[in-house]
């Protein structure tokens, strides 16, 4: 059985490749992302 994935939105704001994406059970709708451009969003 294959799980179905649905695009719920897009992320923008970094000037380089993303290196990490994280979330937490306390805030499941919030995502933290890091990039090679040395920014956190």
Spans of all domains in the chain = 15-41
Q: Strands, DSSP E only, in 1-41?
A: 18-24, 27-35
Record the pTM: 0.58
Rounded Cα distance, 22 and 16, in Å: 17
pLDDT of residue 1: 64
Asked if the model's pLDDT at residue 34 lies above 90, the reply is yes
- Contacts of 34-39 with C-beta under 8 Å, sequence gap 24+, read 39/13, 39/14, 39/15
Predicted local confidence at residue 14, as pLDDT: 86
Higher pLDDT, 22 or 1: 22
Average pLDDT, the chain: 88
Give the three-state DSSP class for 9.
Answer: coil
Confidence category of residue 21, pLDDT binned at 50, 70, 90: very high
């Amino acid at each position: 059985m294959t799980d179905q994935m649905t695009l719920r939105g897009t992320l923008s704001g970094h000037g380089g490749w993303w290196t990490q994406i994280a979330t937490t059970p306390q805030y499941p709708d919030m995502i933290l992302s890091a990039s090679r451009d040395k920014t956190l969003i």
